[in-house]
A and B are shown apart, each in its own frame.
Chain A
């Protein structure tokens, strides 16, 4: 199970100047809440922004390590 720090590191690798907050909602390292404020999101729709975050998280998202991710994204 990934730690919030692991998620944060992935997100910062993809969005180096972003403000990234990740919380483990349940203490079980599989239900997370994340806020990502990144200049890369400028001009993108919310769907595109969320897709960019999912892409950055890669297999953590697609292979079931993360069961739930409540996500807030915006441009600074």
Chain B
């Protein structure tokens, strides 16, 4: 993976509290699994950003390596890989996702 593309990935996951790499877009998901995660995030009322990996084969390949995860969607919260559709669904049902999202929404306290 080139440094350029690693920097692009890190720009996305550090620039957004909740970042979803998916097939298709928030408005038009191109896969049932991606759609399921979009719907869950909407239910959680979490602001989130998406990236359509179908539009960018280089990012698609690089993300598989970066996350050590072979499939999409891939959800990141506060720069940390949370999982794919199955894990996100389980976490939504158990309430864990709500906790993670709430923690992500807290403003970062200024140091000092």
* Residues of A bordering B, CB below 8 Å: 46-47, 50-51, 54, 61-62, 68-72
Contact = CB atoms under 8 A, between A and B. Distances in A.
A47 B86 contact: no
Provide the main secondary structure of the chain A interface: helix
13 contacts: A46-B90, A47-B82, A47-B83, A50-B69, A50-B83, A54-B70, A61-B71, A62-B64, A68-B33, A69-B71, A70-B86, A71-B86, A72-B86
A62 B70 CA distance: 6
Contacts of B71: 54, 61, 68-69
Contacts of B69: 50-51, 54
A61 B68 CA distance: 12
Nearest to B81: A47
B87 interface: yes
Contacts of B85: 70
